[in-house]
Amino acid sequence: MLDIKWIRENAGALDAALGNRGAEPAAAELIRIDEERRQHVQKLQDMQARRNAASKEIGAAMGRKDLETADKLKAEVAELKSALQAAEEEARVLDTQLEDALAAIPNIPLDDVPVGTDEADNVVERTVGEKPGWNHAALEHFDIGEALGQMDFETASRLSGSRFVVLRSQLARLERALGQFMLDLHTSEHGYTEVQPPLLVRDEVAFGTGQLPKFADDLFHTTDGRWLIPTAEVSLTNLVREEILEHEQLPLRFTALTPCFRLEAGAAGRDTRGMLRQHQFNKVELVSITDADTSGDELERMTSCAEEVLKRLGLHYRVMALCTGDMGFAARKTYDLEVWLPGQGAYREISSCSVCGDFQARRMQSRYRRAGEKGVQFAHTLNGSGVAVGRALIAVMENYLNEDGSVTVPDALLPYMGGLTRIERGD
């Protein structure tokens, strides 16, 4: 959420930033709502001041035995009391109106974010590794998995409908190995603290990271009013909600391997075959809580942590700087890691790392205090995939495919596979 004071002082900058994001200007309407609210607050304060003054005048009139004046003042106080009740309710309405309007405004991109409309305007930052050089034909992951008899979309559809999968046997173990490998890497070498967070959260938690209200149609909602997390970012970032941290505690770095749940309401007809876009999938999430001075460096660090997963798996990928029109709602700057999938003959996103500035912290009321200073500042938050486990499984299957249809296990995963070096069709 943006600061209304900043908007009043930078109306042109806000509208320019929104235009770069492909959104309509909003500064004038926000300032109008805020001005109405401020005028009403002043009116409310004037009424409260007059009520307090009249109450004192009643005492003075009674002391003078001026009962007529006292009665008039009592009548005025009674009228003011009734008017104040109505004015306080109106103030709450205006506060809510402003908060709702601010909650719908996306974050402001950093100055070095490329300006563009959609993914076609994203910029390649670097390309790492080499595409596999084969003599045999590439296959998509679902063809590989179904031929192995270990990836079952038909049964999953009978159980749950479309966009689900049943993994069996060696492929199920390979998927588990990928998640364990990523967690071990991030906790033992990258300094992240492992967390097992709730998968169900309240409205205010989903609001805190920007999922609500804008993206409610993409979330699963339970009958008791909770939301299934679309990413562990929601739970991990809110670990510091409504807290004042000591500056010495920062940065805080959290990681979690969780199921994630997305309705994919806006993805009708996209990636309908296979595991690329599912309602339920596993992901290793990275979250950092920093101060205002170091959040930019933390984005570079977080991105390198996600890259290390792909490097150790021996996967070819590229790093993309997302343009203003392709960034997420809460992000100020985002890098996507796109892994090469030989079966598709295309790069596909496997991780997205974003710095959000104080946008989420304002929604969560998460702040920090520097030693020796009286005031507090809003924290800066970052999140990234470290990485999406299902998509990593797809990438391993397609990049390590052998001519006979088996899949070689990458060296980095061998300690997790119980001696298994190849995924082959069983009897």
Among 349, 367, 385, 406, the active-site one is 349
Q: Quick check: is 391 catalytic?
A: yes
Among 51, 277, 312, 370, the active-site one is 277
Q: Quick check: is 349 catalytic?
A: yes
Q: Quick check: is 352 catalytic?
A: yes
Among 295, 391, 398, 406, the active-site one is 391
Task: Pull the structure tokens for residue 384.
Answer: 């990234």
Q: Quick check: is 277 catalytic?
A: yes
Among 262, 301, 332, 367, the active-site one is 262
Among 235, 295, 351, 352, the active-site one is 352
SS (H, E, C) the chain: CCCHHHHHHCHHHHHHHHHHCCCCCCHHHHHHHHHHHHHHHHHHHHHHHHHHHHHHHHHHHHHCCCHHHHHHHHHHHHHHHHHHHHHHHHHHHHHHHHHHHHHCCCCCCCCCCCCCCCHHHCEEEEEECCCCCCCCCCCCHHHHHHHHCCEEHHHHHHHHCCCCCEECHHHHHHHHHHHHHHHHHHHHCCCCEECCCCCEECHHHHHHCCCCCCCHHHCCECCCCCEECCCCHHHHHHHHCCCEEEHHHCCEEEEEEEEEECCCHHHCCCCCCCCCCCCEEEEEEEEEEECCCCHHHHHHHHHHHHHHHHHHCCCCEEEEECCCCCCCCCCCEEEEEEEEECCCCEEEEEEEEEECCCHHHHHHCCEEECCCCCCCEECEEEEEEEEEHHHHHHHHHHHCECCCCCEECCHHHHHHCCCCCEECCCC
Beta-carbon-side half-sphere exposure of residue 122 (alpha carbons within 13 Å): 20
Active site residues: 262, 277, 349, 352, 391
